[in-house]
Amino acid sequence: MTPPDLVVTDIDVPKRPRGRPRKTVDERDDGNRRHELLKVAAQLFRRKGFAATTTRDIAAAAGMQSGSPFYHFKSKDALLFAVMEEGMHTALANQHAALSQPGYAEQPPAAQLAALVHTHFAGLLGPGNDFVPVMLYEWRSLNSRQRKLLAQLIADYEALWMPVLEALHTQGQLKAPVKLARLLMLGALNWSVQWFDAKKGASVEELGDAAMALFLKES
Amino acid sequence: MTPPDLVVTDIDVPKRPRGRPRKTVDERDDGNRRHELLKVAAQLFRRKGFAATTTRDIAAAAGMQSGSPFYHFKSKDALLFAVMEEGMHTALANQHAALSQPGYAEQPPAAQLAALVHTHFAGLLGPGNDFVPVMLYEWRSLNSRQRKLLAQLIADYEALWMPVLEALHTQGQLKAPVKLARLLMLGALNWSVQWFDAKKGASVEELGDAAMALFLKES
DNA sequence: CCTACCGATCGGTAGG
DNA sequence: CCTACCGATCGGTAGG
Protein backbone atom coordinates (compact mmCIF):
# COMPACT_ATOMS: atom_id res chain seq x y z
CA MET A 1 0.00 0.00 0.00
CA THR A 2 2.45 2.64 1.15
CA PRO A 3 5.27 3.03 -1.35
CA PRO A 4 8.35 1.44 0.22
CA ASP A 5 10.50 4.53 0.28
CA LEU A 6 13.21 2.70 2.15
CA VAL A 7 16.88 3.28 1.59
CA VAL A 8 16.80 5.14 -1.70
CA THR A 9 18.50 8.26 -0.37
CA ASP A 10 21.20 6.19 1.27
CA ILE A 11 22.27 4.25 -1.79
CA ASP A 12 25.50 6.09 -2.40
CA VAL A 13 26.17 6.91 1.23
CA PRO A 14 27.15 3.48 2.51
CA LYS A 15 28.01 4.69 5.99
CA ARG A 16 26.40 7.61 7.71
CA PRO A 17 28.73 10.15 9.29
CA ARG A 18 29.89 8.88 12.64
CA GLY A 19 29.59 12.20 14.44
CA ARG A 20 26.81 12.01 17.01
CA PRO A 21 24.11 14.60 16.24
CA ARG A 22 23.42 17.06 19.05
CA LYS A 23 20.38 16.29 21.11
CA THR A 24 17.76 18.65 22.52
CA VAL A 25 15.92 18.03 25.78
CA ASP A 26 13.84 15.04 24.79
CA GLU A 27 14.11 14.81 21.04
CA ARG A 28 16.91 14.85 18.54
CA ASP A 29 16.74 17.07 15.56
CA ASP A 30 18.85 15.73 12.76
CA GLY A 31 16.17 16.74 10.33
CA ASN A 32 15.85 14.16 7.58
CA ARG A 33 15.18 10.95 9.43
CA ARG A 34 13.20 12.58 12.18
CA HIS A 35 10.90 14.24 9.70
CA GLU A 36 10.62 11.07 7.70
CA LEU A 37 9.30 9.44 10.85
CA LEU A 38 6.79 12.23 11.34
CA LYS A 39 5.56 11.84 7.79
CA VAL A 40 5.00 8.11 7.87
CA ALA A 41 3.56 8.33 11.37
CA ALA A 42 1.04 10.90 10.18
CA GLN A 43 0.07 8.64 7.29
CA LEU A 44 -0.37 5.60 9.51
CA PHE A 45 -2.11 7.41 12.35
CA ARG A 46 -4.55 8.74 9.84
CA ARG A 47 -5.24 5.47 8.08
CA LYS A 48 -5.35 3.14 11.06
CA GLY A 49 -5.68 5.42 14.05
CA PHE A 50 -3.13 6.10 16.76
CA ALA A 51 -3.84 3.16 19.05
CA ALA A 52 -3.99 0.67 16.19
CA THR A 53 -0.66 1.81 14.77
CA THR A 54 2.39 0.20 16.35
CA THR A 55 5.75 1.85 16.67
CA ARG A 56 6.98 -1.14 14.67
CA ASP A 57 4.66 -0.19 11.79
CA ILE A 58 6.12 3.28 11.84
CA ALA A 59 9.69 2.08 12.01
CA ALA A 60 9.16 -0.30 9.10
CA ALA A 61 7.52 2.39 6.98
CA ALA A 62 10.53 4.61 7.60
CA GLY A 63 12.93 1.77 6.83
CA MET A 64 14.19 1.45 10.38
CA GLN A 65 14.40 -1.27 12.98
CA SER A 66 11.75 -1.57 15.64
CA GLY A 67 13.60 0.24 18.40
CA SER A 68 14.87 3.13 16.33
CA PRO A 69 11.95 5.54 16.48
CA PHE A 70 12.76 5.88 20.17
CA TYR A 71 16.06 7.41 19.26
CA HIS A 72 14.14 10.34 17.76
CA PHE A 73 11.10 10.48 20.03
CA LYS A 74 10.98 9.54 23.62
CA SER A 75 7.58 7.85 23.33
CA LYS A 76 4.82 7.00 20.93
CA ASP A 77 2.82 9.77 22.57
CA ALA A 78 5.50 12.32 21.82
CA LEU A 79 5.39 11.26 18.18
CA LEU A 80 1.66 11.83 18.00
CA PHE A 81 1.98 15.22 19.59
CA ALA A 82 4.76 16.21 17.22
CA VAL A 83 2.59 15.24 14.24
CA MET A 84 -0.30 17.33 15.48
CA GLU A 85 1.89 20.27 16.37
CA GLU A 86 3.40 20.32 12.91
CA GLY A 87 -0.10 20.13 11.45
CA MET A 88 -1.31 23.13 13.39
CA HIS A 89 1.81 25.17 12.72
CA THR A 90 1.43 24.59 9.01
CA ALA A 91 -2.26 25.43 9.09
CA LEU A 92 -1.61 28.64 10.99
CA ALA A 93 1.19 29.62 8.66
CA ASN A 94 -1.02 29.02 5.64
CA GLN A 95 -3.81 31.17 6.99
CA HIS A 96 -1.46 33.96 7.94
CA ALA A 97 -0.03 33.87 4.46
CA ALA A 98 -3.53 34.14 3.00
CA LEU A 99 -4.39 37.05 5.28
CA SER A 100 -1.29 39.01 4.38
CA GLN A 101 -1.84 38.77 0.64
CA PRO A 102 -1.57 42.33 -0.76
CA GLY A 103 -5.00 43.92 -0.91
CA TYR A 104 -6.60 41.35 1.34
CA ALA A 105 -7.68 43.90 3.93
CA GLU A 106 -9.50 45.94 1.30
CA GLN A 107 -11.57 43.07 -0.01
CA PRO A 108 -15.21 42.65 0.99
CA PRO A 109 -15.73 40.19 3.87
CA ALA A 110 -17.23 37.57 1.57
CA ALA A 111 -14.01 37.45 -0.44
CA GLN A 112 -12.00 37.29 2.77
CA LEU A 113 -14.04 34.33 3.95
CA ALA A 114 -13.59 32.66 0.59
CA ALA A 115 -9.83 32.93 1.05
CA LEU A 116 -10.00 31.38 4.51
CA VAL A 117 -12.24 28.58 3.31
CA HIS A 118 -10.09 27.75 0.32
CA THR A 119 -6.91 27.78 2.36
CA HIS A 120 -8.52 25.57 4.98
CA PHE A 121 -9.67 23.04 2.41
CA ALA A 122 -6.31 23.05 0.67
CA GLY A 123 -4.47 22.40 3.92
CA LEU A 124 -6.89 19.66 4.84
CA LEU A 125 -7.32 17.85 1.55
CA GLY A 126 -4.17 18.52 -0.38
CA PRO A 127 -1.93 15.56 -1.22
CA GLY A 128 0.23 14.37 1.67
CA ASN A 129 -1.49 16.55 4.22
CA ASP A 130 -2.06 13.95 6.88
CA PHE A 131 -0.93 16.07 9.78
CA VAL A 132 -4.07 18.14 10.24
CA PRO A 133 -6.47 15.21 9.83
CA VAL A 134 -4.58 13.35 12.54
CA MET A 135 -4.90 16.33 14.80
CA LEU A 136 -8.63 16.54 14.09
CA TYR A 137 -9.36 12.89 14.68
CA GLU A 138 -6.97 11.76 17.41
CA TRP A 139 -7.67 14.40 19.99
CA ARG A 140 -8.70 11.75 22.52
CA SER A 141 -5.29 10.13 22.46
CA LEU A 142 -3.53 13.16 23.92
CA ASN A 143 -2.90 13.67 27.59
CA SER A 144 -4.22 16.81 29.18
CA ARG A 145 -0.95 18.72 29.03
CA GLN A 146 -0.62 18.10 25.30
CA ARG A 147 -4.27 18.91 24.82
CA LYS A 148 -3.83 22.26 26.50
CA LEU A 149 -0.87 23.18 24.34
CA LEU A 150 -2.70 22.37 21.13
CA ALA A 151 -5.89 24.06 22.31
CA GLN A 152 -3.98 27.31 22.29
CA LEU A 153 -2.96 26.87 18.66
CA ILE A 154 -6.50 25.99 17.72
CA ALA A 155 -7.82 29.04 19.50
CA ASP A 156 -5.38 31.18 17.54
CA TYR A 157 -6.57 29.58 14.34
CA GLU A 158 -10.23 30.12 15.07
CA ALA A 159 -9.60 33.68 16.14
CA LEU A 160 -8.58 34.47 12.59
CA TRP A 161 -12.11 33.70 11.43
CA MET A 162 -14.04 35.76 13.90
CA PRO A 163 -13.63 39.32 12.55
CA VAL A 164 -14.59 38.14 9.08
CA LEU A 165 -17.67 36.34 10.35
CA GLU A 166 -18.68 39.32 12.43
CA ALA A 167 -18.43 41.62 9.44
CA LEU A 168 -20.57 39.24 7.43
CA HIS A 169 -23.12 39.06 10.23
CA THR A 170 -23.31 42.85 10.39
CA GLN A 171 -23.88 43.01 6.64
CA GLY A 172 -26.68 40.49 6.88
CA GLN A 173 -24.84 37.88 4.82
CA LEU A 174 -24.58 35.52 7.78
CA LYS A 175 -27.73 34.97 9.74
CA ALA A 176 -26.74 32.42 12.38
CA PRO A 177 -25.13 33.56 15.66
CA VAL A 178 -21.47 34.12 14.88
CA LYS A 179 -19.98 31.65 17.34
CA LEU A 180 -22.31 28.85 16.37
CA ALA A 181 -21.80 29.73 12.73
CA ARG A 182 -18.06 29.31 13.16
CA LEU A 183 -18.47 25.93 14.82
CA LEU A 184 -20.91 24.67 12.21
CA MET A 185 -18.91 25.98 9.28
CA LEU A 186 -15.60 24.56 10.45
CA GLY A 187 -17.42 21.31 11.11
CA ALA A 188 -18.68 21.21 7.54
CA LEU A 189 -15.15 21.82 6.30
CA ASN A 190 -13.41 19.41 8.65
CA TRP A 191 -15.82 16.60 7.98
CA SER A 192 -14.77 16.62 4.34
CA VAL A 193 -11.73 14.63 5.41
CA GLN A 194 -14.10 11.69 5.76
CA TRP A 195 -15.53 11.70 2.27
CA PHE A 196 -13.39 13.82 -0.02
CA ASP A 197 -11.74 11.88 -2.80
CA ALA A 198 -9.28 13.73 -4.99
CA LYS A 199 -9.74 11.15 -7.71
CA LYS A 200 -13.46 11.64 -8.17
CA GLY A 201 -16.24 14.08 -7.51
CA ALA A 202 -15.68 17.76 -6.87
CA SER A 203 -12.28 19.40 -6.74
CA VAL A 204 -11.01 21.29 -3.74
CA GLU A 205 -11.93 24.55 -5.48
CA GLU A 206 -15.47 23.45 -6.28
CA LEU A 207 -15.83 22.37 -2.68
CA GLY A 208 -14.84 25.81 -1.47
CA ASP A 209 -17.30 27.46 -3.82
CA ALA A 210 -20.08 25.13 -2.69
CA ALA A 211 -19.35 25.93 0.94
CA MET A 212 -19.52 29.66 0.24
CA ALA A 213 -22.79 29.23 -1.63
CA LEU A 214 -24.18 27.21 1.25
CA PHE A 215 -23.20 29.55 4.06
CA LEU A 216 -23.70 33.05 2.73
CA LYS A 217 -26.82 34.99 1.85
CA GLU A 218 -26.69 37.35 -1.11
CA SER A 219 -25.43 40.74 -0.04
CA MET B 1 -15.09 6.76 36.83
CA THR B 2 -17.83 4.57 35.42
CA PRO B 3 -20.37 3.70 38.11
CA PRO B 4 -19.72 0.13 39.20
CA ASP B 5 -23.07 -1.34 38.32
CA LEU B 6 -21.97 -4.78 39.34
CA VAL B 7 -24.22 -7.41 40.80
CA VAL B 8 -27.15 -5.29 41.96
CA THR B 9 -29.74 -7.11 39.88
CA ASP B 10 -28.47 -10.47 41.02
CA ILE B 11 -28.71 -9.90 44.77
CA ASP B 12 -31.80 -11.98 45.37
CA VAL B 13 -31.22 -14.40 42.51
CA PRO B 14 -28.36 -16.43 43.90
CA LYS B 15 -28.33 -18.86 41.01
CA ARG B 16 -29.30 -18.03 37.47
CA PRO B 17 -31.67 -20.39 35.71
CA ARG B 18 -29.74 -23.38 34.46
CA GLY B 19 -31.53 -23.56 31.11
CA ARG B 20 -29.09 -22.63 28.37
CA PRO B 21 -30.34 -19.63 26.38
CA ARG B 22 -30.86 -20.31 22.70
CA LYS B 23 -28.10 -19.06 20.52
CA THR B 24 -28.25 -17.48 17.08
CA VAL B 25 -25.55 -18.04 14.49
CA ASP B 26 -22.73 -16.18 16.14
CA GLU B 27 -24.29 -14.23 19.00
CA ARG B 28 -26.56 -14.99 21.90
CA ASP B 29 -29.56 -12.88 22.58
CA ASP B 30 -30.59 -13.05 26.18
CA GLY B 31 -31.35 -9.38 26.09
CA ASN B 32 -30.39 -7.73 29.34
CA ARG B 33 -26.73 -8.58 29.75
CA ARG B 34 -26.00 -8.47 26.07
CA HIS B 35 -27.46 -5.02 25.76
CA GLU B 36 -25.68 -3.88 28.88
CA LEU B 37 -22.46 -4.86 27.16
CA LEU B 38 -23.44 -2.88 24.07
CA LYS B 39 -24.15 0.18 26.16
CA VAL B 40 -20.91 0.22 28.11
CA ALA B 41 -18.95 -0.69 24.99
CA ALA B 42 -20.47 2.28 23.15
CA GLN B 43 -19.51 4.56 26.03
CA LEU B 44 -15.95 3.30 26.16
CA PHE B 45 -15.42 3.17 22.40
CA ARG B 46 -16.57 6.75 22.23
CA ARG B 47 -14.44 8.03 25.09
CA LYS B 48 -11.22 6.12 24.42
CA GLY B 49 -11.60 4.83 20.91
CA PHE B 50 -12.03 1.24 19.77
CA ALA B 51 -8.39 0.16 19.68
CA ALA B 52 -7.60 1.75 23.03
CA THR B 53 -10.51 0.04 24.74
CA THR B 54 -9.82 -3.47 25.97
CA THR B 55 -12.40 -6.18 26.24
CA ARG B 56 -11.39 -6.25 29.89
CA ASP B 57 -12.44 -2.62 30.26
CA ILE B 58 -15.79 -3.48 28.80
CA ALA B 59 -16.25 -6.56 30.94
CA ALA B 60 -15.40 -4.63 34.10
CA ALA B 61 -17.78 -1.81 33.20
CA ALA B 62 -20.54 -4.38 32.78
CA GLY B 63 -19.63 -6.11 36.04
CA MET B 64 -18.34 -9.24 34.36
CA GLN B 65 -15.13 -11.22 34.32
CA SER B 66 -12.63 -10.70 31.56
CA GLY B 67 -13.63 -13.64 29.42
CA SER B 68 -17.37 -13.17 29.64
CA PRO B 69 -18.00 -10.68 26.84
CA PHE B 70 -17.02 -13.49 24.48
CA TYR B 71 -20.01 -15.45 25.61
CA HIS B 72 -22.19 -12.74 24.05
CA PHE B 73 -20.04 -11.65 21.12
CA LYS B 74 -17.68 -13.79 19.20
CA SER B 75 -15.04 -11.06 18.93
CA LYS B 76 -14.26 -7.48 19.87
CA ASP B 77 -14.91 -6.62 16.24
CA ALA B 78 -18.38 -8.07 16.39
CA LEU B 79 -19.09 -5.93 19.43
CA LEU B 80 -18.05 -2.79 17.59
CA PHE B 81 -20.18 -3.66 14.64
CA ALA B 82 -23.18 -4.38 16.84
CA VAL B 83 -22.79 -0.97 18.50
CA MET B 84 -22.73 0.79 15.16
CA GLU B 85 -25.58 -1.22 13.75
CA GLU B 86 -27.76 -0.35 16.71
CA GLY B 87 -26.79 3.29 16.28
CA MET B 88 -27.82 3.36 12.66
CA HIS B 89 -31.04 1.47 13.24
CA THR B 90 -32.05 3.93 15.92
CA ALA B 91 -31.15 6.91 13.76
CA LEU B 92 -33.13 5.54 10.85
CA ALA B 93 -36.12 4.78 13.04
CA ASN B 94 -36.02 8.30 14.46
CA GLN B 95 -35.97 9.91 11.04
CA HIS B 96 -38.76 7.70 9.76
CA ALA B 97 -40.81 8.65 12.78
CA ALA B 98 -40.20 12.34 12.06
CA LEU B 99 -41.16 11.91 8.41
CA SER B 100 -44.41 10.16 9.19
CA GLN B 101 -45.64 12.81 11.59
CA PRO B 102 -49.19 13.77 10.49
CA GLY B 103 -49.10 16.73 8.16
CA TYR B 104 -45.39 16.43 7.48
CA ALA B 105 -45.81 15.96 3.76
CA GLU B 106 -47.82 19.18 3.50
CA GLN B 107 -45.24 21.34 5.19
CA PRO B 108 -42.93 23.59 3.19
CA PRO B 109 -39.52 22.05 2.51
CA ALA B 110 -37.81 24.40 4.96
CA ALA B 111 -39.94 23.04 7.78
CA GLN B 112 -39.25 19.50 6.61
CA LEU B 113 -35.54 20.15 6.71
CA ALA B 114 -35.87 21.66 10.18
CA ALA B 115 -37.46 18.41 11.34
CA LEU B 116 -34.64 16.34 9.86
CA VAL B 117 -32.00 18.59 11.38
CA HIS B 118 -33.54 18.59 14.82
CA THR B 119 -34.01 14.85 14.82
CA HIS B 120 -30.43 14.36 13.69
CA PHE B 121 -29.05 16.59 16.43
CA ALA B 122 -31.23 14.95 19.06
CA GLY B 123 -30.07 11.49 18.08
CA LEU B 124 -26.47 12.61 18.05
CA LEU B 125 -26.28 14.76 21.15
CA GLY B 126 -28.99 13.45 23.43
CA PRO B 127 -27.92 11.90 26.75
CA GLY B 128 -26.61 8.36 26.46
CA ASN B 129 -26.52 8.39 22.68
CA ASP B 130 -23.03 7.01 22.21
CA PHE B 131 -23.94 4.57 19.49
CA VAL B 132 -24.07 6.99 16.57
CA PRO B 133 -20.90 8.89 17.54
CA VAL B 134 -19.03 5.58 17.65
CA MET B 135 -20.28 4.76 14.21
CA LEU B 136 -19.21 8.18 12.93
CA TYR B 137 -15.72 8.09 14.40
CA GLU B 138 -14.65 4.45 14.28
CA TRP B 139 -15.34 3.71 10.66
CA ARG B 140 -11.69 2.78 10.10
CA SER B 141 -11.85 -0.05 12.59
CA LEU B 142 -14.35 -2.05 10.57
CA ASN B 143 -13.42 -4.69 8.07
CA SER B 144 -14.69 -4.32 4.53
CA ARG B 145 -17.63 -6.65 4.94
CA GLN B 146 -18.90 -4.74 7.95
CA ARG B 147 -18.23 -1.49 6.20
CA LYS B 148 -20.34 -2.53 3.26
CA LEU B 149 -23.25 -3.52 5.45
CA LEU B 150 -23.25 -0.22 7.29
CA ALA B 151 -22.74 1.78 4.12
CA GLN B 152 -26.14 0.55 3.00
CA LEU B 153 -27.81 1.85 6.15
CA ILE B 154 -26.03 5.17 5.77
CA ALA B 155 -27.13 5.43 2.17
CA ASP B 156 -30.71 4.84 3.28
CA TYR B 157 -30.33 7.56 5.86
CA GLU B 158 -28.92 10.09 3.45
CA ALA B 159 -31.55 9.26 0.86
CA LEU B 160 -34.15 10.64 3.23
CA TRP B 161 -32.58 14.07 2.91
CA MET B 162 -32.31 14.32 -0.82
CA PRO B 163 -35.92 15.11 -1.87
CA VAL B 164 -36.09 17.85 0.74
CA LEU B 165 -32.82 19.38 -0.37
CA GLU B 166 -33.84 19.20 -4.00
CA ALA B 167 -37.09 20.99 -3.26
CA LEU B 168 -35.18 23.70 -1.44
CA HIS B 169 -32.75 24.04 -4.31
CA THR B 170 -35.60 24.41 -6.78
CA GLN B 171 -37.13 27.11 -4.62
CA GLY B 172 -33.83 28.97 -4.47
CA GLN B 173 -33.44 28.53 -0.74
CA LEU B 174 -30.38 26.34 -1.19
CA LYS B 175 -27.77 27.63 -3.57
CA ALA B 176 -25.00 25.02 -3.36
CA PRO B 177 -25.14 21.88 -5.54
CA VAL B 178 -27.47 19.49 -3.75
CA LYS B 179 -25.05 16.62 -3.26
CA LEU B 180 -22.27 18.80 -1.94
CA ALA B 181 -24.77 20.65 0.20
CA ARG B 182 -25.82 17.39 1.78
CA LEU B 183 -22.24 16.41 2.53
CA LEU B 184 -21.35 19.80 3.96
CA MET B 185 -24.53 20.08 6.01
CA LEU B 186 -24.26 16.63 7.53
CA GLY B 187 -20.63 17.39 8.24
CA ALA B 188 -21.58 20.52 10.15
CA LEU B 189 -24.09 18.51 12.16
CA ASN B 190 -21.86 15.50 12.78
CA TRP B 191 -18.92 17.57 13.85
CA SER B 192 -20.97 18.91 16.75
CA VAL B 193 -20.18 15.67 18.56
CA GLN B 194 -16.70 17.08 19.04
CA TRP B 195 -17.63 20.32 20.76
CA PHE B 196 -21.24 20.17 21.96
CA ASP B 197 -21.57 20.36 25.71
CA ALA B 198 -25.04 19.88 27.14
CA LYS B 199 -24.01 21.65 30.32
CA LYS B 200 -23.02 24.93 28.72
CA GLY B 201 -23.53 26.96 25.59
CA ALA B 202 -26.39 26.47 23.20
CA SER B 203 -29.07 23.83 23.61
CA VAL B 204 -29.79 21.19 21.00
CA GLU B 205 -32.76 23.26 19.82
CA GLU B 206 -30.76 26.45 19.47
CA LEU B 207 -28.18 24.49 17.53
CA GLY B 208 -30.80 23.28 15.11
CA ASP B 209 -32.11 26.80 14.62
CA ALA B 210 -28.60 28.12 14.03
CA ALA B 211 -27.95 25.44 11.44
CA MET B 212 -31.15 26.33 9.60
CA ALA B 213 -30.26 30.01 9.67
CA LEU B 214 -26.80 29.21 8.34
CA PHE B 215 -27.86 26.94 5.51
CA LEU B 216 -31.00 28.45 4.06
CA LYS B 217 -31.60 31.63 2.11
CA GLU B 218 -34.83 33.47 2.73
CA SER B 219 -37.60 32.17 0.51
C1' DC C 1 20.54 3.83 14.67
C1' DC C 2 20.72 -1.59 15.33
C1' DT C 3 20.56 -5.89 18.34
C1' DA C 4 18.52 -8.33 21.65
C1' DC C 5 15.58 -8.35 25.00
C1' DC C 6 11.96 -7.59 29.03
C1' DG C 7 7.60 -6.98 31.37
C1' DA C 8 3.04 -6.09 30.66
C1' DT C 9 -1.05 -6.45 28.32
C1' DC C 10 -4.35 -8.17 25.16
C1' DG C 11 -7.85 -10.96 22.47
C1' DG C 12 -9.48 -15.13 22.81
C1' DT C 13 -10.48 -20.09 24.43
C1' DA C 14 -11.27 -24.72 26.97
C1' DG C 15 -13.81 -26.59 30.28
C1' DG C 16 -16.98 -26.37 33.56
C1' DC D 1 -20.95 -16.68 32.85
C1' DC D 2 -16.44 -17.70 35.66
C1' DT D 3 -11.63 -19.77 36.11
C1' DA D 4 -7.39 -20.33 34.45
C1' DC D 5 -4.71 -19.93 30.91
C1' DC D 6 -2.08 -19.37 26.19
C1' DG D 7 0.29 -17.21 22.35
C1' DA D 8 1.18 -13.06 20.32
C1' DT D 9 2.14 -8.46 20.35
C1' DC D 10 3.53 -4.12 22.07
C1' DG D 11 6.06 0.02 24.03
C1' DG D 12 10.21 0.73 25.57
C1' DT D 13 15.32 0.10 26.97
C1' DA D 14 20.44 -1.21 27.62
C1' DG D 15 24.41 -1.35 25.39
C1' DG D 16 26.96 -0.76 21.64
Interface probe with B: pick from A180, A182, A215, most Cβ of B within 10 Å: A180
How many Cα atoms are found within 13 Å in the side-chain-facing hemisphere of B103?
3
**Cross-chain Cβ contact A184/B141 below 8 Å:** no
- What single-letter amino acid sits at B186? L
**Dist. CA B187–CA B203, nearest whole Å:** 19
Show residues of chain A in contact with B181, CB under 8 Å: 210, 214
**Using the CB atom, is residue A27 less than 7 Å from strand C?**
no
Q: Give the model's pLDDT for residue B24.
A: 41
What's the pLDDT tens digit per position in B138-169? 999 999 999 999 999 999 999 999 999 999 99
**Residue B207 Cα, gap to closest chain A Cα (Å):** 7
Please report which helix (H) or strand (E) contains residue B123, including its range. helix B109-125
From the list A48, A52, A207, the residue facing B180 with the nearest CB is A207
Q: What is the pLDDT along chain A (219 residues), one digit of tens a residue?
A: 333 332 233 323 333 333 334 444 445 556 789 999 999 999 999 999 999 999 999 999 999 999 999 999 999 999 999 999 999 999 999 999 999 999 999 999 999 999 999 999 999 999 989 999 999 999 999 999 999 999 999 999 999 999 999 999 999 999 999 999 999 999 999 999 999 999 999 999 999 999 999 999 986
Q: How many residues does this entry show for chain A?
A: 219
User: Three-state SS for A127?
Assistant: coil
Give the closest nucleotide to B62 (alpha carbon vs C1').
D1
- At B109, is the pLDDT very low, low, confident or very high (cuts 50, 70, 90)? very high
Q: How many residues does this entry show for chain B?
A: 219
